[in-house]
Chains A and B, each alone.
Chain A
């Protein structure tokens, strides 16, 4: 990739961090909501 390798890898790295971070945040929010739901509504064993 010659002298442009740093620009190319920076682009792919940035994409991985952005999309990976978005996926991680979404899954963390979902897990937190499920845990809170289980706490406020203990009669139900799992999320609706």
Chain B
């Protein structure tokens, strides 16, 4: 892990893998959109609205995955003081918040025709809303200090504490009686949805993941550059 602690080495590696992830994003989302909108059947219960799931579910998975990554990099930053870990946590926060907001908005757009309401204070919906507030809280907190190091430390602690919410989101549909349906893909015994619907779901999920990695690499490069600019400006003044 400390092999990548050298920013110059990290940037060399990032530049090499960036085109691969950008290309994979276009390919996976392109094929995913084809299968989501044209190449998959309507559901026998949900009808055509099942197509909203091909955006909603990958966005929900990404909201959890990005936060788990942030918690992990925060732990690395606090324990080993890895020079890139704080920057990685910070770079991931905005995309994570965007995925969470997208998950909530598309869920609402699915809920209106299927449940007859845009929103219910259901355990799953509420815990995902808390996740969005955690992302926004992190973004606000890291910029609230004059000393960037103190801001990063406070943000890392918040990211770690907030990770408690992840299992609550995942198991909320099992622990409480909710309107939200239980897991149908990531569960013991394997997925319970048909292959024709699983294909666009997985393609879109892979596309979203590659998109996130592409963004993360670009945002990290920008953050490293900003840090260098600050150092030069401090030296000059």
A residues apposed to B, CB below 8 Å: 1-5, 7-8, 10-12, 14-15, 18-19, 21-23, 25-27, 29-30, 33-34, 36-37, 40-41, 47-48
Contact = CB atoms under 8 A, between A and B. Distances in A.
Contacts, number: 89
Given A11-B56, A11-B106, A48-B228, A26 B222 contact: yes
Contact of A11 (B95, B109, B233): B109
Interface stretch (B47-55, B74-82, B158-166, B182-190): B47-55
Given A26-B218, A37-B228, A4 B233 contact: no
Contacts of B224: 48
Overall SS of chain B's interface: helix
Given A15-B55, A18-B98, A7 B113 contact: yes
Interface size class of B (residues with CB under 8 A): 35 or more
Contacts of B106: 11, 14-15
B149 interface: no
B69 interface: no
Given A18-B102, A26-B222, A4 B113 contact: yes
B225 interface: yes
B112 interface: yes
B219 interface: yes
B48 A8 contact: yes
Contacts of B228: 37, 41, 48
B232 A41 contact: yes
B221 interface: yes
